[in-house]
Amino acid sequence: PRAKLLGLPGSLRRNSNSLAVLQGLRDALPAGIGMEIRDLRLPLYDQDLDTPDGPAEVQALRQAIADADGVVIVTPEYNYGMPGVLKNALDWASRPYGKSALIGKPVLVISNSPAFTGGVRAHQQVNDTLLAVSAKLVGGAQVVIGMVGEKVKEGKLADEAVLKFALGAVDKLVAAGGK
């Protein structure tokens, strides 16, 4: 493929809307762009465990980020912020200090919520964290999906207008990766 993307959902549950957004997006990608989706089920960050032979799931996540041309994070909002699951994963991925796979990595952030507000506060928090780790954020119009329950069908984002808007942002993500 022309570009290899990594999709990371900020929720672990089976029927996650965030996962459904990624699955809908993956299936709608233009030819030549592929997306692997990984869950973020990792141990809690512990600097004592953060050694070169640290947790295998963490090493695999870091490698997947390093191998990707771009990363798509789809986050829900928990109590006006990003879920701990996602923050935990970003903390793991932010290390080793100065050598994180996220440094300079193009990242697109998408938030979603069953509520009208679309998880916009979680979106902002993820952006702040990505700024801290010197990732290359895709800017411009933010992809914030409100009332997501009405837009997901059979485990996939199915709303044509939202898909089109999100695919426009994926184009920018791929362009940011130099492809």
Chain residues in the site for ligand FNR (CB under 6 A):
11, 13, 16-18, 76-80, 113-115, 117, 119
32 φψ region: left (φ > 0), alpha (ψ -120 to 50), beta (else): left
Closest distance between ligand FNR and the C-beta of residue 123, in Å? 11
Closest distance between ligand FNR and the C-beta of residue 16, in Å? 4
* CB nearer to ligand FNR: pick between 83 and 177: 83
> Which residues pair with residue 34 across a beta bridge?
4
Distances, alpha carbon 135 to alpha carbons 51, 53, 101, 126, 167, in Å: 22, 24, 9, 11, 20
* CB nearer to ligand FNR: pick between 3 and 89: 89
* CB nearer to ligand FNR: pick between 11 and 124: 11
Closest distance between ligand FNR and the C-beta of residue 10, in Å? 7
Q: How far apart are CA 122 and CA 132, in angstroms?
A: 15
Closest distance between ligand FNR and the C-beta of residue 94, in Å? 22
Give me the residue label for tokens 């796979």.
101
